[in-house]
Chains A and B, each alone.
Chain A
Amino acid sequence: MDPVTIDTTKFRPVRKKPETALEKLEDTGLISTVLAARERKGLIFLTTVDQVFNWARLSSLWPVTSGLACCAIEMMAVAMAHHDIARFGMEIFRASPRQADLMFVAGTVTKRMAPRVKQLYEMMPDPKWVISVGSCANTGGPYHESYAVLRGVDNIIPVDVYIPGCPPRPEAWLYGVLQLREKIKNEGYGAKWGLNK
């Protein structure tokens, strides 16, 4: 055999299993600047588009202005200066669901209100999240045996965070908001690769 000729059938590139986040990112081949980033370590801010989006989303959640019962009074307390939901970029309660990406279901969802709540949710643009606040919205609460009340708002729309209480204190409310922020932070591919740390 001619020693110059290389038998390509026996050549198999060794593929290292990606371990670090950077290697995993390289492995996808999605972002071509990764190699450049490796050469100039520290000069390029390296993230995924997902993580940037998540950060932007969780930093300015705009809730839709809707209150169904007494939990809405607590919602007002959360929005006011003492508890100050503006610390989380949420001070703008939008009057239109078209401009909102978060819905607090704050109160009793009656049978007659249920299709309206569902319609409000469907009018919100994606991505959207729902926080169910209080016993009534979670399970029907004290009205569980009633003919006129829906047994939990999760029967009609998907819920991300449930806040228990009747009604929940503003502190509980803020804890629920923090849980939702944690959830949004862990959405998408970036979180799967461990880039959300």
Chain B
Amino acid sequence: MNAAEELKQALPASVVSTGMQVEKPLVLVKKEDLLEVAAKVKEMGFDHLSVVTGVDYVDRFEVIYNFFSYGKKENLVLKVVLDHEAPEVGSLTSLWKGADWLERETYDLVGVRFTGHPNLTRILLPEGWKGHPLRKDYDMSVEQFVTIGEDGEDIVSTDGSNLLRRK
């Protein structure tokens, strides 16, 4: 019995379905019960949260969590499906400290909001950037430029007039 089946037996009400993601056991979880399931996952010995990613499927968002257990040398994948209008899910920072930056990255590029995150700000792009670039509806026709302000802060503008040599 793999970790996904084990999780389904422990929390049958929270798990929607199980399967395989390439060679890793996959569990689709109800988004309201994510924190509860994650606590159980940690209890099962998955001490390393390696990746948090978000995917835009136009009609829905999916957030995917990849776990690894250093003790058992096993992988586990959790997946939650979010509403496309207001993607919001609970933060796992209380369970894995490493979730902090991973969730910030997902917020930055995909625009998923993690409730309960201690510092949900952009991590790769500067503050003031318009839109979330990995969304399907991101406007690629508007080019955005970054310049440095008086106090060393990043300023985002669309014309880039004090950066570019010619317009």
Residues of A within 8 A of B (CB): 111-112, 114-116, 118-119, 145, 147-148, 154-158
Contacts and interface: CB of A to CB of B under 8 A. Distances in A.
Interface string B135-167: 000101001111110000010000000011100
Contact of A115 (B125, B144, B163): B163
Contacts of A115: 146-148, 163
Nearest to A111: B146
Contacts of B145: 111, 114
Contacts, number: 33
A147 B146 contact: no
Contacts of A156: 163-165
B165 A114 contact: no
Contacts of A155: 164-165
Given A111-B145, A148-B133, A118 B163 contact: yes
18 contacts: A111-B144, A111-B145, A111-B146, A112-B126, A112-B146, A112-B154, A114-B145, A114-B163, A115-B146, A115-B147, A118-B163, A147-B143, A148-B125, A148-B133, A154-B165, A156-B163, A156-B164, A157-B165
A116 B126 CA distance: 14
Contacts of B164: 155-156
Contacts of B148: 115-116, 119
A118 B143 CA distance: 19
A155 B145 CA distance: 12
B148 to A, nearest CB: 5
Contacts of B165: 154-158
A116 B147 CA distance: 9
B72 to A, nearest CB: 36
A158 B164 CA distance: 11
Nearest to B139: A147
Interface of B: 125-126, 133, 138, 140, 143-148, 154, 163-165
A124 B163 CA distance: 17
Nearest to A110: B146
A156 B146 CA distance: 12
A118 B146 CA distance: 12
A115 B148 CA distance: 7
B42 to A, nearest CB: 34
Contacts of A154: 165
B161 to A, nearest CB: 12
Contacts of A119: 148
A112 B153 CA distance: 11
B147 A147 contact: no
Interface centre among A111, A114, A145, A156 (most CB of B within 10 A): A111
A119 B163 CA distance: 10
Contacts of B144: 111, 147
Contacts of A118: 163
A114 B143 CA distance: 14
A132 to B, nearest CB: 13
Contacts of B126: 112
A144 to B, nearest CB: 12
B60 to A, nearest CB: 23
A112 B154 CA distance: 8
B133 A114 contact: no
A119 B145 CA distance: 15
A114 B138 contact: no
A162 B72 CA distance: 52
